[in-house]
Amino acid sequence: PVGDAGNWSVDPFEALVKDGRLYGRGASDMKTAIAAFTAATARFLSEHGPDFGGSISLLITGDEEGAAINGTVKVLDWLQDQHQVIDACLVGEPTNTDTLGDTIKIGRRGSMNSVLTVQGTSGHAAYPQLADNPIHRLMAMLTAIIDTPLDEGTAHFPASQPVVTSIDVGNPVTNVIPATATANFNVRFNDLHSGDSLVALLRQRFDAIGGEYDLAVRVSGEPFLTAPGPLAATVAAAVETVTGRQAEFSTSGGTSDARFIKDHCPIAEFGMINDTAHKADENAAVDDIGTLSEIYQAVLERFFTDSAKG
């Protein structure tokens, strides 16, 4: 979605080119990558014909953000039913931070959405000794997972990071101690944890504070890593051939549909610069779109050449 269209200076669906940049929803994330790969595939087939020794499939889904239950997962199930095996997958997410070619994603952190509700006993603010203030314990519990690191990170992942997104007590007055206090927080976590082991660690920290509480969680994606190997090397070589840059392998950022594909084949992610993704006036340099298509074609050339040798 475009959000509030009034915040855009252009029509988000017009695909306006202005001052060498393409403006519109999806310019960065990630419709230009789809177009770039489609064009790269067309050029590759034009040069090599249909008998190049392999097959190329494009998986384009409209249900990719959030739970994504009606997109990639359904296609993967269908492929499995058809006994189709994927050898490698390149995801066109906008991976680059500052310059096209600076970052290739080889994994992603897990994401856990959490609701922590602490129960107490309401009372008059003038007599706190007669109440059990849940806010104080909620603050202590949040401090226990924020000020003391959950881990130190790994060679490919940063330390797991809790981020508090809201705190609510449902109490607009200053003279009443509320009966409950609730916090919403998200944890982006590395592969030192699974969703289950992370919940156990959080509960251990909360139990040390004491008192009655409830923790509800939803893990939208487990962490994964495709260790640097032939696919990542192929993409990195293509980036260097076209741009002269040596890309960094990274696991930063949010989740993607790669979290579903990782169990089926080696995976790497490479696309546009992500600085305007999901923002008003989302845009991308027109020159970068052409360069990305060249990189994708170089990936195809190298992948199928190496496959033929193997």
- Which domains does the chain possess? 5-107+225-309 (3.40.630.10), 110-221 (3.30.70.360)
Instruction: Name the pTM for this structure.
Output: 0.85
CB 25 within 8 A of CB 13: yes
Asked whether residue 307 carries a pLDDT value surpassing 80, the answer given is: no
CB 145 within 8 A of CB 205: yes
CB 261 within 8 A of CB 76: yes
Asked whether residue 8 carries a pLDDT value surpassing 80, the answer given is: yes
Give the confidence band of 40 by pLDDT, cuts at 50, 70, 90: very high
CA distance 307 to 300: 10
Asked whether residue 202 carries a pLDDT value surpassing 90, the answer given is: yes
CB 95 within 8 A of CB 268: no
249-281, pLDDT tens digit by residue? 999 988 899 999 999 999 999 999 999 999 999
Asked whether residue 310 carries a pLDDT value surpassing 80, the answer given is: no
CA distance 70 to 196: 25
State residue 131's pLDDT score. 96
Average pLDDT over residues 105-116: 96
Report the percent of the chain where pLDDT is more than 90. 89
Average pLDDT over residues 200-219: 98
State residue 65's pLDDT score. 72
Q: Which helix (H) or strand (E) holds 161?
A: strand 161-168
State residue 181's pLDDT score. 98
Please write down the HEC assignment for all residues of 60-77: CCCCCCCCCCCCHHHHHH
Asked whether residue 308 carries a pLDDT value surpassing 90, the answer given is: no
Average pLDDT, the chain: 95
Give the confidence band of 67 by pLDDT, cuts at 50, 70, 90: confident
Average pLDDT over residues 188-198: 97
Token duo for residue 16: 């306006």
Average pLDDT over residues 40-59: 95
Coil/strand/helix, residue 137: helix
